[in-house]
Amino acid sequence: MSVQREVRYGAQTSHFAFDRNVTPVAQANSGDTVLFHCQDCYDGQITHDGMDFARLDVTRTNPVTGPLYVTGAEPGDVLKVEIQRIEIADYGVMCVKDGWGICTVEGSHCRRFPIRDGKILFDGGLKLPVRPMIGVIGTAPATGTISTQTPGEHGGNMDICELGEGCTIYLPVAVSGALLSMGDIHGVQGDGESASCAMETSGRVTVRVTVQKDAMDLPTPMIETDRAYCTTAADASLDVCSVAAARKMHRWLMSRWDMTDTQAAMLLSLQGNLRISQVVNPRKGCMMELKKELLAQWKISQT
């Protein structure tokens, strides 16, 4: 794959909020392949295993690289972002603290783990296979400013473990150029991200960006993997975002796949997997996952 644009990480090319007023640092055309260099979510502050937590400046968490201005993207369009490759560093870091996440821990701790040959060398001889993914990816909202700590309809701090190599994410375009940014790369993460961090790492992400016109029925932010479609939603309440994620898929099955409300509801009840993405961000996240093979088999009704 040839890269048309490259966005390096630095003070001038990173930011901490999705906002239309953040000046773009690069431009791409629809169909271009772009390489983003991303710092880890602690901005590279964890210099060694066991580093004193008190040295961590938490105001520097979740820097994202960008924004990228995609020429031709206008409000109402959808930005298709194909995640072609995620290359990660040879170590990952984690910080845990009592009160962060949903597990009670004593004190506060910063750890650094080697990554060798696709395996994270965890404690106790555990070698955990890497499954690189993007924690934060999004576009600028039409109004206001949204911290990179928070997920929402713009994408943002989604922390969805399906957001890895080979997947496609569909994001809304709310402002001219879309203003795409990303960061918070993870070596691996489980559903829930229970301790509030994943295997945090810096990385290089190669994406292809394409502007889609007339894609109004796509329920963004939506993820397509090689085997499934996933609708997503975020809210302070898990009850609210689980319902929202399911209803997005339900509506899409009716509008795009021509199912009746009853057919769509029944199919989701039988084959849809409603999953928790994360429970640790200011807004929690859920997704409804449905296998693509079912929709490949589904014959659009003939009236």
**Interface residues with Ca ion (CB under 5 A)?**
41, 135, 157, 159, 184, 198
* C-alpha span between 129 and 126 (Å, rounded): 10
DSSP string, 128-183: EEP--EEEEEE---SSS-EETT-EETTEEE---TT-BTT-EEEEE--STT--EEEE
Q: Residue 64 or residue 268: which is nearer to Ca ion going by CB?
A: 64
Q: Residue 64 or residue 253: which is nearer to Ca ion going by CB?
A: 64
Smallest separation (angstroms) from Ca ion to the CB of 197:
5
Smallest separation (angstroms) from Ca ion to the CB of 61:
8
Inter-CA distances, 179 with 4, 97, 148, Å: 17, 33, 14
Q: Residue 32 or residue 159: which is nearer to Ca ion going by CB?
A: 159
For strand 33-38 and strand 5-7, is the pairing parallel, antiparallel, or unpaired?
parallel
Q: Residue 33 or residue 61: which is nearer to Ca ion going by CB?
A: 61
Q: Residue 14 or residue 210: which is nearer to Ca ion going by CB?
A: 14
Residue 239: both structure tokens together: 């009850």
Residue 164: both structure tokens together: 């890895």
Q: Residue 95 or residue 228: which is nearer to Ca ion going by CB?
A: 95
Smallest separation (angstroms) from Ca ion to the CB of 104:
20
Smallest separation (angstroms) from Ca ion to the CB of 36:
16
Smallest separation (angstroms) from Ca ion to the CB of 41:
4
Q: Residue 184 or residue 235: which is nearer to Ca ion going by CB?
A: 184
- Give SS3 for 247: helix
Q: Which residues of 225-252 are buried (b: 16+ CB within 10 A; e: fewer)?
A: beebbbbbbbbeeeeebbbbbbebbbeb
Smallest separation (angstroms) from Ca ion to the CB of 212:
26
Residue 12: both structure tokens together: 């001038």
> In terms of Cα–Cα distance, which of 148, 46, 150 is closest to 94?
46
Q: Which residues contact 124 (CB under 8 A, 6 or more apart)?
A: none
Smallest separation (angstroms) from Ca ion to the CB of 62:
6
* 113, 124 contact by CB (below 8 A): no
Report the residue number whose CB is nearest to Ca ion.
135
